[in-house]
A and B are shown apart, each in its own frame.
Chain A
Amino acid sequence: MHISRGFHGRHREGAAPGRVPPGQYLTSDFPVLSAGPTPRVSLDDWTFSIRGEVDEPRSWSWAELQALPREDVTVDIHCVTKWSKLDTDWAGVSLDTLLEGVETAAEHVLAYCDGGYTTNLPLEDVTGGRAWLAYAYDGDPLDAEHGGPARLLVPHLYFWKSAKWVRGIELRADDEPGFWEGYGYHNYGDPWREQRYAGD
């Protein structure tokens, strides 16, 4: 371990033990990180689709999504740029609900978004009550700069996996790297194993 001369650190006190992954710091803000302009889409034109290796592609309009069972979740989120935010309140539809009855042999998911962003995840990481299509934050409709009208919420992975402006998921037999995964970020992104970059 390399000691930094004269560094003592200031933010240890009060940090929630066991809730902040290695190399992360707590913030009460909600920083925004996006690779391009914020896309704006009319809710009239918005759909969410499941396509790829499925028996039959599925698609929901905004109104149809709202009619699905809503779940309110409170989770900790961890961004690869080092900030973590505890007890964030979201509402949306579980991916389990959207994938219910879908027949597939696929093991991978590629989420795709307005603006061209993509991210890849194992299918099992978006099932079992671990992923949502979130459309509300802190009781309000999700702001566009935070990914509204709807984004993925996969809080057990680094937050770039929680794709903003998501418009669907593609079920795939092979694992196709997404946007940041193709630029040297880790393919899986477990914050507790500090999987920030390829090879971590």
Chain B
Amino acid sequence: MNWRIGTVMDVFAETDRTASIVLTVPGWPGHRAGQHVDVRLTAEDGYQAQRSYSIASAPEDDTLVLTVERLDDGEVSSYLVGELRAADELELRGPIGGYFVWDGSLGGPLTLIGGGSGIVPLRAMLRHRIAQARTVPVRLLYSARTLADLIYHDELVAAAREPGLDIRFTLTREQPDGWDGYDRRIDRELIADAAWARADRPLVYICGPTAFVEAAADALVSLGHEPGRIRTERFGPTGR
């Protein structure tokens, strides 16, 4: 798979810790919603570092967008969120991954469950659904610590007004006055309330930190969902 040089059109903050990087990539072959890219940085002395990032844009979008969370000790993420700016070039290759992807041909209904920056590939799926597969009903559950940590907040609130899209948030650490979403970490009851039921035979995509994904997937399995219809993408350590 070839490395390509993309040009950064824009970098803008989504939250305090996350930024979206808007790229044009000559020769880009296109992607499916849910796929990721490998990014490679090279220092002047030849030292290189690579990481993987989910694609945030839909296949229909004019530009390729990556949304990156800056990690505390993130060698690459702290460069992408902080140093990188418009007109820079960025080396990448992809698209990568063929399982944690969704397009209209896979049908629905669709349950999307995201924790923190795990919303990024789900947002690509949601945009693809809005652009192409209007009849597939979607339930999206997005967990973040605080309102200010919700990536794509305005876009998601606007999307929730579209027919067939049910979008809910849970804020686990702090809720603003008058908050009418959920206010706790995901659990079996919360998922039973927000997600499609087993009888609806949804296709489920879960992305987030390991403990979040384990909790969500275990809850769905305990609610009787077929493991084979639950696709997961985990990031982060287990703490051991």
Contacts and interface: CB of A to CB of B under 8 A. Distances in A.
Contacts of A22: 48
Nearest to B44: A3
A36 B231 contact: yes
B98 A23 contact: no
Contacts of B233: 33
A145 B237 CA distance: 11
A4 B45 CA distance: 11
B237 A31 contact: yes
Contact of B238 (A23, A143, A199): A143
A7 B42 contact: yes
Contact of B79 (A6, A39, A180, A183): A6
Interface residues of A, number: 45
A36 B231 CA distance: 5
B98 A183 contact: yes
A12 B47 contact: yes
B179 interface: no
Contacts, number: 121
Interface in A1-55: 1-12, 22-23, 25, 27, 29-39
Interface residues of B, number: 48
A159 B60 CA distance: 34
Contacts of A115: 227
Given A25-B75, A30-B237, A35 B232 contact: yes
Interface stretch (B20-28, B165-173, B190-198, B212-220): B212-220
Contacts of A27: 237
A23 B41 CA distance: 10
A25 B49 contact: yes
Contact of A31 (B3, B88, B236): B236
A81 interface: yes
B133 interface: no
A62 interface: no
Nearest to A137: B240
Contacts of A32: 210, 214, 234, 237-238
Given A4-B43, A32-B210, A34-B234, A184 B91 contact: no
B79 A29 contact: no
A180 B96 CA distance: 11
B5 interface: yes
B237 A29 contact: yes
A128 B227 CA distance: 36
Given A2-B91, A36-B228, A145-B214, A8 B234 contact: no
A31 B238 contact: yes
Contact of A2 (B38, B49, B89): B89
A11 B75 CA distance: 7
B221 to A, nearest CB: 5
Interface string B148-172: 0000000000000000000000000
Contact of B75 (A9, A33, A35, A180): A9
A4 B42 CA distance: 5
A7 B98 contact: no
Contacts of B237: 27, 29-32
A2 B75 contact: no
A34 B238 contact: no
Nearest to A6: B83
B97 interface: yes
Given A4-B41, A37-B220, A10 B96 contact: no
Interface of A: 1-12, 22-23, 25, 27, 29-39, 81-82, 115-116, 138, 143, 145-146, 179-180, 182-184, 196-200
Given A29-B236, A183-B99, 11 more contacts: A3-B43, A4-B88, A4-B90, A8-B44, A33-B234, A36-B217, A37-B217, A37-B230, A37-B232, A38-B217, A82-B52
Task: List the 7 closest A-B pairs by CB distance, nearest first.
Answer: A29-B237, A183-B98, A37-B217, A4-B41, A23-B50, A9-B47, A32-B210
15 contacts: A2-B42, A7-B79, A9-B75, A23-B40, A29-B237, A30-B237, A36-B230, A36-B231, A36-B232, A37-B232, A82-B51, A145-B214, A183-B98, A183-B99, A197-B96
